[in-house]
Every structure is written in structure tokens, then in C-alpha cells.
Amino acid sequence: MIRSFNLRQRFSLTVLFAIALASTVMLLSIYWAVSNYTRQYTIHYWQEYAETFAHSAKFSVTLASSVKANEIVDHFKKDPVIEKTGIYLRSGERLASTEGTIECPITATNRFDANRVEHPFVFELPRTWCFYAPIHYLPETHDFLDPEPSGNIDKTLIGFVELAVSKRGMENVIHQILWLSIASVIVFELLLFVSVQHFSDVWTRALLELADIMKKTGEGSRGVRASLEGPAEIVELKQRLNRMLDQIEAQEEELEDKVTTRTAELQTALNSALSASRYKSTIISTVSHEMKSPLHAFMGYSQLALEALNGSSRLTAEDCLQMGLDCARNLEHQINQILDYARLESGKAQLDIAKFNFRNLVLRCVEKIEPLTKDSGNRIRIIGEACEIETDQDKLTHILMNLLSNANKFTQQGGIEIAWSIHQEHLIIRVNDTGCGIAEADRDKIFEPFWQADMSLSRPAGGTGLGLAITKLYCELLSGEIDVTSNKPGSIFTVTLPIAKA
């Protein structure tokens, strides 16, 4: 049958067969490459999305806050292809999740294995991907510019997130690419077969113009656009190229805007650094004043003691020396506070766990504070039963002394109450006073080092502003937490510490 065709027909048939074979191979290759790349890229994208989700959920998991966790899962489920989002504790207990029609087997089963979510992974279902990302707790981070430092840092798994993503989006894209490719190849075959001779010069002109456009674009020229004329394929090529050039120029403009924005952010950071430097100067001035006051008083009382020995003073030498000794102890207390804070900040503080009677410890602390209450006119009330606990006695003593001293300093002619109870192997301590209270705007700042509501040198209540900061660090060192509430008058400090009952 082929022998009956003439040379032109045979050539046309050969060209048609070659084009069809090449197009089929090309179409299959493109489909395989595009589908494989789309799948890998989609999995990679949603895995990174899950890790971002996990990083955002770290704070809520650390505090076990279901309210904050619900806000986060709702925020991360805005994409329509996301079928479900969830935040889970390390035990597999659900902290928060959105409603969904899909249940991933990893969290649906009762036999949950925490080791499986130590690292990010994806579980694939026929129509859905289930992405998982762990949430780790980092004990210490010294690089404040890197929230996830690398290196040999022990990480503790505290929870994980679950992200169920439908495959329909990727499948629709692949199907569209397939049908678009098939349609394009069919049109291309027909047009190429019909116009291989008649439109060769058009193709040549198109290639030359494309080369010229690419050259000008590579040299940095803007506003260069293709004006190709000819068949629909050439016009489509022109439109795609022009859209691509539009996107490139838009991205360049966006990059320039980002550089401008980043420059502004750096300027803001510089201004913040300058403000921090001024705040540092204020702190140094305040601490220096607080340390000079007892030193000057000590020197004055020493002078009075000398005059008393010579008989030229109204006070006795013993009284002067006693008052000077009190000033020296005040100075020693302030120096010890600074040293304690430096030791806690550097991570050099060590724990000494032992069993002891907590009520006896409270009585000793109250006994040390009672001489100070004579000047303030306060009364101390103790509520709690004797109990044997196991923790660091020295660190707990520091916590109690700081809270009682703070309550006595800001309370005049009032009452101070210290109460405690044990609940689920946790010691709960409440120190309540009837003092001036704490303004709502200042409650988030009182645990900052060197911070005080009144930073002036003439403030009525002295101190370096380290007492509550050290108390918070001691609580964290003992794996506990501290909270404060205030209703004016009065404040309530609540300390929760894990202990082992004897």
C-alpha cells in the first residue's frame, strides 16, 4: 500500500509518523517528569508548612493552652486543600484540632508511638497526605537570632502537629497539564505538518526576535516585549513570554521593595539598640545609687561610732556599730543578688535535692523576715500543714525570702499571708499581701531583671529590681512556674513546683 504513494506522500507520511512518535515520547516524558516533580514539590512544600505550623504551636504546647492552640489550628487551616489540622501533646493527647472528614491512622489509633514523631514525616492515604512535625523544647538558647539552633543540643519532644492535605489539588493540576499538553501536542502536530514549508520563515523570525529579547533582558533592559505575529502558537508564545517578562519585572520591583523595607527594619533595630543602651545606663545609675546608699550610711555610722567613743555623740558606739552593720548587710544582700542573677543567667547554678520539712523551712524564713515587719507594721499569717518534700532546700529558701521581702516592702500596716498545699505531686505556694498592688500594665514586666515601676533615684522603695527576676529563674531551675494576680489593694504570687512527697 505504501508503494502506491508518491514521493511527496511518502515524505509527508514519514514526517507525520516521526512527529507523532516524537510527540508521544515527549508527552509521556513531560507527564512523568511533571507529575513526579509536582508530587515531590507538593510533599516538600506541605512538610515545610507543617514544620512552620509546629514552630508556631510550640508556645501553646509548652503552656498546654488549648485556647491558643485552637487559634493556631484555625489559622493554619485557611487553605482549602487542607482537610484537617491538629496539635497533640507528646502522649498523643489532642490539645486542639479542626473538624475534618478524614482521620489519619497515626492519631486515630489508641496505640500511639511517640518515637515515630521524633522527626518530620508524611503518611500517605489514597486521597490524602498526613504530614507530621515534632515540637521540641530547647532547654537553653544563647543565639537570639536563631530560634532553632543547630548542634549537639538536647531536644525534648513535647508534642507534634498533624496536617491532613487533600491530593485533589495536585491531581487537578497534573490532569490539567496532561490535557493541556495533549491538546498542545495535537495542535502542534497538525500545524507543523501543514505549515512546515510555508511558515519556516516565520519560525526563523520568531527565533531571532526571541534571541534579541533575551539578550536585552539579560543586559537589564526593562519594558522589552515580544511582538511576534503568525499562527496561534506564535501568538501564544508571545503572550507567555510577555507574561514571564512581566513577572520578572514585578519580582524585581518586589525585591527592591523588600530591600527598602529591610533597610527600614534595620534602622528600627538600630534605634531599639540605642534605646536599650539608654535603659542600660539608667539601670547602672540606679544600681550604683542603691549600692552607694548603704555604703554611705555605713561610713556615717562608723564616724558616729568614733565620735561616741570620744564622748561627742548622742548615740552609743554599740548603736552606731549595729546600724552600720545593718547597712553592710543590706549592701551584702544587694551584691549577693547580682551574683545570684549572674550565676543563674550563665547556667552555672546546681541543684542539691534532699528531703526536708517544708513547714519548718517556712517558719525559719518568717523568723528572718519578722524583724523587718516591725518597721512596716505588718503581720504575717501562716496557713499550711507540716509535710515532707524532696527538692532543693536552698533554692526554695531563696524563693520564699524574696517573695516575703517583696510583700513586706510594698505593704504598710497590713497583713501578709503565706499558704501552701500539695496537689498531684506539686507544691503550690501562695504569698498574699494587702499592699499597693501591681498595675495591670506592669504585670508582664515585674519579672524582668532590674525593672521597677519607679526607676527614679528618689523612689520610696529601694532595691536593685532583681528579687522577682531571681525568683522566676529559681522556679524555672526547679522545673516550676510563678504567676501573679493583683486586685488593688494587694497582690498574690503563686508558685507551683514539682516535688516528691516523702
Give the tens place of pLDDT for each residue, 231-247.
677 777 777 888 888 88
Helix (H, G, I), strand (E, B) or coil at 168: helix
Q: Is residue 489 reached through a cis peptide bond, with omega within 30 degrees of 0 on the bond before it?
A: yes
Question: Looking at per-residue confidence, does 77 or 275 come out higher?
Answer: 77
pLDDT at residue 382 in the model: 93
Beta bridge partners of 485: 492
pLDDT at residue 314 in the model: 61
Question: Looking at per-residue confidence, does 188 or 500 come out higher?
Answer: 188
The 3-state secondary structure of 191-227, one letter per residue: HHHHHCCCCHHHHHHHHHHHHHHHHHHHCCCCCCCCC
Lowest mean pLDDT: which of 151-155, 260-264, 268-272, 481-485?
A: 151-155
* Cell numbers found for residue 306: 568614733
Helix ranges (H only) for 422-477 are 467-477
> Which tens digit of pLDDT belongs to each residue from 9-57?
555 667 667 777 877 887 788 778 888 888 888 889 989 998 998 899 8
pLDDT band at 456 (very low <50, low <70, confident <90, very high): very low
Kindly state the average pLDDT of the residues 304-328.
Answer: 65
pLDDT band at 496 (very low <50, low <70, confident <90, very high): very high
* Cell numbers found for residue 480: 516550676
Q: Whole-angstrom Cα distance, residue 182 to residue 279?
A: 68
Lowest mean pLDDT: which of 146-150, 397-401, 455-459, 467-471?
A: 455-459
Beta bridge partners of 389: 356
Kindly state the average pLDDT of the residues 87-113.
Answer: 77
* Cell numbers found for residue 216: 536585552
pLDDT more than 90, % of the chain? 7
pLDDT band at 146 (very low <50, low <70, confident <90, very high): very low
Other beta carbons within 10 Å of 105? 9
- Whether residue 334 contacts residue 298, with contact meaning beta carbons closer than 8 Å, is answered with no
- Whether residue 281 contacts residue 274, with contact meaning beta carbons closer than 8 Å, is answered with no
pLDDT band at 125 (very low <50, low <70, confident <90, very high): confident
Kindly state the average pLDDT of the residues 101-118.
Answer: 72
Q: Report which listed range, 37-51, 133-147, 179-193, 231-245, is most confident.
A: 37-51
The 3-state secondary structure of 377-426, one letter per residue: CCEEEEECCCCEEEEEHHHHHHHHHHHHHHHHHCCCCCEEEEEEEEECCE
What is the CB-side half-sphere exposure of residue 303 using CA atoms within 13 A?
6
pLDDT at residue 278 in the model: 58
Query: Nearest CA to 160 among 313, 55, 29?
Result: 55
Going across the sheet that includes 94-97, the strands are 94-97, 82-89, 156-166, 128-137, 121-124
Going across the sheet that includes 426-433, the strands are 379-383, 415-423, 426-433, 491-498, 481-486
Kindly state the average pLDDT of the residues 96-119.
Answer: 74
Residue 111 pLDDT greater than 80, yes or no: no
Question: Looking at per-residue confidence, does 110 or 89 come out higher?
Answer: 89
Which residue spans within 25-144 are E strands per DSSP? Answer: 82-89, 94-97, 121-124, 128-137
pLDDT band at 412 (very low <50, low <70, confident <90, very high): confident
Q: Whole-angstrom Cα distance, residue 110 to residue 94?
A: 12
Could you give phi then psi for residue 384, rounded to 5 degrees? Answer: 160, 155
Q: Which residue has the cell 528600627?
A: 268
Q: Which residue has the cell 511527496?
A: 8
Residue 487: its H or E element: none
Task: Give the list of residues 6+ apart from residue 455 with CB closer than 8 angstroms, or none.
Answer: 282, 286
* Cell numbers found for residue 66: 488549648
Kindly state the average pLDDT of the residues 174-198.
Answer: 73
* Cell numbers found for residue 55: 514552630
Q: Regarding beta strands 415-423 and 379-383, do their DSSP bridges make them parallel or antiparallel, or are they unpaired?
A: parallel
Average pLDDT over all residues of the chain: 76
Q: Whole-angstrom Cα distance, residue 219 to residue 462?
A: 68
Residue 311 pLDDT greater than 70, yes or no: no
- Whether residue 291 contacts residue 331, with contact meaning beta carbons closer than 8 Å, is answered with yes
Task: Give the list of residues 6+ apart from residue 103 with CB closer than 8 angstroms, or none.
Answer: none
